[in-house]
Amino acid sequence: MVDQLVNSRKQELPFVFTGSGFEYFRIWIVNVLLTIITLGIYSAWAKVRTKRYFYRNTKVDGSPFEYHARPIQILKGRLLIFAGYVAFIVVNQFQPVIGGIIAIIFVLAMPWLIVRSRVFTARNSSWRNIRFDFNEHSLKDAVKTFLIVPILIPFTLGIIIPYLSYRGWKFSITNSRFGRQPFSFQSVRVGAYYRAFFAMVFLLVVIVLGITGLMAGSDLLFRAQDLDPRGGSFLSLFPLVLILFFYLIAVPGYRVMTRNISLNGTTLGDHTFESTLKMWTVIWIYISNGVAIVFSIGLLTPWARVRVSRYLANHLVLNTADDLESFVQAEQRKTSAFGEEATDFMDVDIGGI
């Protein structure tokens, strides 16, 4: 009897995604049309609607997430960024020196913008009416992670990248809170990221060498048979093959592995997470999504997005030590959408997949 009671509190709760491609297609196409007609103004409303659709359809223990940002906040952020960008273009035209200084200031402000963006997203997210939050005083950590370490990438020939991934995830997780309960990131070691990194480097080298061999072989074959010796060599395609495999296999593969490592080391109180993404499945989803989007002239974009969200949710499990009823709300604070829109605009996506 006691055993049963203890067992019933320890549970494996899978994340579930309940959205459908066609349902999201309707929302998406109306968003696109209204955004075009209103010359972009509606994009703020479109963003909120899209985020809400994906949040509400992601559930754990039967309860959905909720996105709370108001479109007007997003619109203000976007207009500010847009005005700043136009001003920058104009200044850059007439005073390139001042333009350059502005660009440098913007890069230096990146860590601050990232913190503001995280705070905005976290405070506008909730589960069971309890808000998430992000540590506002994480600027020092952000400067090290997003400014100083990245500067070292060229000097270390990229060897520092796994360390950067580790810091990025650690920054995201340890500064997050659900209600009053902070997330923690303890059992994770940098070595795991290095193993993932070198596994991908090794894979890339093997694949590229194999294909190069094939190409060189076919070149020789064609030469031997004297088939159009001036028709160009297969080997000249080498840079293309390298870029293709880098973007289609190495980058997503590395991201999948680091995401698994990071989430598996994340805890929320006594609850733990388990991420079981399969690298080749994600790569297949990405490539087939790309093909589907191209051949549907974009119309399958919503289906592709739903497909990714479903896969990501279905391979995340929350292992609970206790029931999930005892998280307590913290006092709530508001924040502006400026950082969120700035980082969105610059396409800054750290630790995401």
For the bound state, the minimum distance from the C-beta of residue 287 to another protein, rounded and expressed in Å, comes to 7
Q: Please state the closest distance from residue 62 (CB atom) to another protein, in A.
A: 7
Q: Is 321 in the site for another protein (CB under 8 A)?
A: no
Q: Cβ distance 320 to 10 under 8 Å?
A: yes
C-beta separation of 315 from 353 below 8 A = no
Q: Which residues contact 191 (CB under 8 A, 6 or more apart)?
A: none
Which of 9, 10, 29, 87 contacts another protein by CB under 8 A? 29
Instruction: Provide the b/e sequence for 248-274 (b: ≥16 CB within 10 Å).
Output: ebbebbbbbbbbbbbbebbbbbebbbe
How many residues bind another protein, per CB under 8 A?
53
Encoded tokens for 312: 């990501």
Query: Binding residue for another protein (CB under 8 A) from 94, 326, 331, 334?
Result: 326
Q: How far is the CB of 123 from another protein (least distance, A)?
A: 15
CB 84 within 8 A of CB 318: no
Q: Pick between residue 192 and residue 268 the one whose CB is nearest to another protein.
A: 268
x-or-dash string of contact with another protein, 270-309, rule CB under 8 A? ----------------xx-xxx-xx--xxx-x---x----
Q: Does 136 bind another protein (CB under 8 A)?
A: no
Residue 68's Cβ-side half-sphere holds a number of Cα atoms within 13 Å equal to 20
Of these, 162, 168, 179, 253, which contacts another protein (CB under 8 A)?
Answer: 179
Shortest Cβ distance from residue 153 to another protein (Å)? 18
- Please say which residue, 96 or 298, places its beta carbon nearer to another protein: 298
**CB neighbourhood size of 2 (10 A):** 6
CA distances from 46 to 28, 72, 120 (A): 8, 11, 18
Task: Examine residue 72 and tell whether it contacts another protein (CB under 8 A).
Answer: no
Q: Within 225-318, where are the H helices?
A: 238-245, 251-264, 279-295, 301-314
Cβ–Cβ under 8 Å, residues 168 and 147? no
- Residue 222: exposed, middle, or buried by beta-carbon count in 10 A (0-12, 13-18, 19+)? middle
The enclosing H or E element of 96 equals helix 96-123
52 contacts another protein (rule: CB under 8 A): yes
Among 9, 10, 36, 187, binds another protein (CB under 8 A): 36
* Span from 101-109, 182-190, 248-256, 264-272 in contact with another protein (CB under 8 A): 248-256
| Least distance in angstroms from the C-beta of 148 to another protein | 25
Task: Please report whether residue 205 would count as binding another protein according to CB under 8 A.
Answer: no
Q: Work out whether 163 is an interface residue with another protein (CB under 8 A).
A: no
The span from the CA of 327 to the CA of 260, in Å, is 25
Residue 82 within binding range of another protein, rule CB under 8 A: no
Binding string to another protein for residues 89 to 128, with x set by CB under 8 A, is what? Answer: --------------------------------------xx
Contact between residue 228 and residue 218 where contact means Cβ atoms under 8 Å apart: no
Three-state secondary structure call for residue 229? coil
Residues of the shown chain interacting with another protein in the complex, contacts defined by CB under 8 A: 19, 23-27, 29-30, 32-33, 35-36, 49, 52-53, 56-57, 61-64, 66, 127-130, 179, 230-232, 247-248, 251-252, 286-287, 289-291, 293-294, 297-299, 301, 305, 324-329, 347
